[in-house]
Structure 1
């Protein structure tokens, strides 16, 4: 897999993570990145440059890199991906369409929501193993093209957790009972402590799946903002052997002492040191309107009124603009494994065609104004004055 593309996806994800709302949420930069890369290749300036910068690609290569990334992902044991394009029956395609839109043409849009929406939803369900059953886009008569990606991940833990119920009597979760997961194994170095600018100390735990996926869990010091912890975790994911490993942390303090955020030295009757990991099981779902962060994703220019020529002349001579961009995503962490899915969709909309109309000059004197009377030929002023307020009330 292209290292530059991986870095670009990581960068996009980290920037997005800094904008996450407080509380439970989940998003997939990987689901969005191929769409931005394809749109960068298809867009006219200035949208082309904005999209390329947001995706971190050379616009001329974005479509091909997006296709190669999705193909590489789909070769994974646990992770699968798909791209799809639906085009309106009313849309005339440019000759360059096939070169800028590498995703397979899945079907046609009729403009009838009762016909089109079930087809889009069925594709989302098929390519997420039924984890997501709805395409996050609204079908309208002006919807000319839908570009979508789907991701699905299902992995089983190499070592399962024990499941129990735990009640908290203090701390931020006090007063609640939660479904809780615990396991003990001998891999101390699955834990690492990082020092990160802006996030101070960060503890990262790698939970390996039984095939080709790991899940990283990160916890920072209590005073560090959520945005900084998430961004640091994404950055450290690219540096799996950096930081201080657990095999060193365990010797840095006496039993009962903290050696990293969320990490304390304890005692065991086992014949050798081991690692006990405990956390709540979780099921997080979210839907994102990507246009709320249009500047972050390079969608600022291509969402504006494109005028007579549109933003995507390489797709169609019909004036088109991005009118919708959304993502539905979920993640579940449970005793025996982890699963996640994301469907991301961008809708290109037809914009109003300009019409030729006679011009009109409109002048309105609705505030104080002056006046002058002159002789026509000599332009000699006769009287001049100023109207501060109207003098004749209406009946």
Structure 2
């Protein structure tokens, strides 16, 4: 249930993304905080939060994750939250930033937490993954004279004798070419290229729906990408006659970063009622003895795709104050040469750890 709920959260969040700029988000990074708040909430706030995060999420062992809590010295926390205390909250965010830096391996050196005299406590979560490719790419350069990526870019190439991990998905957002890049551990990155007029708010939710299943009972959560019907008519796919069969995949090397204000889409996270006016007991009587309401919530995230592997991290906070056909004579080329999406997925469970959009690749610099 929790994997399905976390994936629903990621789908709903991705559907709110504006424009087509590069970005990355982690619903799996927000979910544990929402689940904790749901367990401590009362009234309408509890109902909204429980609808989004009904049960705790057990994160996979390959994921590095932590939760920390900072409260003012005079805040009397309920016993169940005292084990989460990482320090005393002051007006200085440096201790929280240091915690984020430590638990994300330096990928998120600071959290956009806003602390003022009204802030009574801060609940933070960190999530990070890193994997090496089972089959690495070759580094190279690509130059385009026309199109959205005019210029020179750092480019990655890889060829394989089979089409394993490649599919064209039929979705509500039209056909999506999906190429799964397998990590050495249990993390896969699924590259997603849709029709040219499809942005992240359309493509990412449709792709998540297509490649994940609710609480899979087997270790083949992404089986549709491997066994699904494939035709060489998907976006970015071309076929040429060749003496040898196979598939050549090319894409830019990329790094994307983003900061998200969760309260800008409070209803997605079940935080609408939790930010409103409260009675004497507050919205979270199970968290502390004093009345509390959510005063801020945000996430910082980053993801990098290179020739050797993939790494991503997110730090989140909530503050409280008041089947493939026979192509043995064809060589299939798949080129991600315009803006595209990606998912980082835990292979055994189907949990979407990160979702993102590549608006622009890493530029090629001579003697890089």
TM over 0.5: yes
Structure 2, unaligned runs of 5 or more: 214-221, 323-368
Given that 1:50 and 1:298 are in contact with CA atoms closer than 8 Å, whether structure 2 keeps it comes out as: yes
1:277 matched to 2:223? The reply is no
1:44 offset after TM fit, Å?
1.1
1:88 matched to 2:69? The reply is no
1: CA distance, partners of 2:7 / 2:235: 24
User: Could you report, residue by residue, the CA deviation over 1:270-324 in whole angstroms, capped at 9, with x for unpaired residues?
Assistant: 3xx2110001111000001101011111111111121433111122231211011
Where in structure 2 are the equivalents of 1:179-218 lying within 5 Å? 179-196=154-171, 198-218=172-192
Question: What is the match of residue 288 of structure 1?
Answer: 260
1:105 matched to 2:85? The reply is yes
User: Could you report, residue by residue, the CA deviation over 1:34-83 in whole angstroms, capped at 9, with x for unpaired residues?
Assistant: 1111111111111000111122x1xxxx4xx24xx14xx3x22xx21111
Given that 2:180 and 2:188 are in contact with CA atoms closer than 8 Å, whether structure 1 keeps it comes out as: yes
1:147 matched to 2:123? The reply is yes
* Bigger share in helix: 1
Q: 1:313 aligns to what SS in structure 2?
A: coil
Question: What is the match of residue 12 of structure 1?
Answer: 9
Q: 2:23 aligns to what SS in structure 1?
A: coil
1:131 matched to 2:107? The reply is yes
Q: TM-score if structure 1 supplies the norm length?
A: 0.75
Given that 2:159 and 2:247 are in contact with CA atoms closer than 8 Å, whether structure 1 keeps it comes out as: yes
1: CA distance, partners of 2:236 / 2:82: 46
1:226 offset after TM fit, Å?
3.0
**Higher Cα radius of gyration:** 1
Question: What is the match of residue 298 of structure 1?
Answer: 270
Question: What is the match of residue 159 of structure 1?
Answer: 135
2: CA distance, partners of 1:154 / 1:259: 33
Aligned residues: 313
2: CA distance, partners of 1:103 / 1:92: 13
Distance 1:130 1:46, change over 3 A: same
Q: 1:189 aligns to what SS in structure 2?
A: coil
2: CA distance, partners of 1:152 / 1:268: 41
Given that 1:83 and 1:103 are in contact with CA atoms closer than 8 Å, whether structure 2 keeps it comes out as: no
Distance 1:286 1:294, change over 3 A: same
1: CA distance, partners of 2:202 / 2:83: 35
1:98 offset after TM fit, Å?
3.0
Which consecutive aligned stretches of 4+ in structure 1 deviate over 6 angstroms post-superposition? none
1:223 offset after TM fit, Å?
3.3
1:245 offset after TM fit, Å?
5.0
Q: 1:90 aligns to what SS in structure 2?
A: coil
Given that 1:195 and 1:243 are in contact with CA atoms closer than 8 Å, whether structure 2 keeps it comes out as: no
2: CA distance, partners of 1:244 / 1:152: 26
Q: 1:119 aligns to what SS in structure 2?
A: helix
Distance 1:244 1:334, change over 3 A: closer
User: Could you report, residue by residue, the CA deviation over 1:5-34 in whole angstroms, capped at 9, with x for unpaired residues?
Assistant: 111111000011110122111110000011
Distance 1:103 1:206, change over 3 A: farther
Structure 1, unaligned runs of 5 or more: 253-257, 352-395
Where in structure 2 are the equivalents of 1:311-330 lying within 5 Å? 311-330=283-302
2: CA distance, partners of 1:102 / 1:186: 55
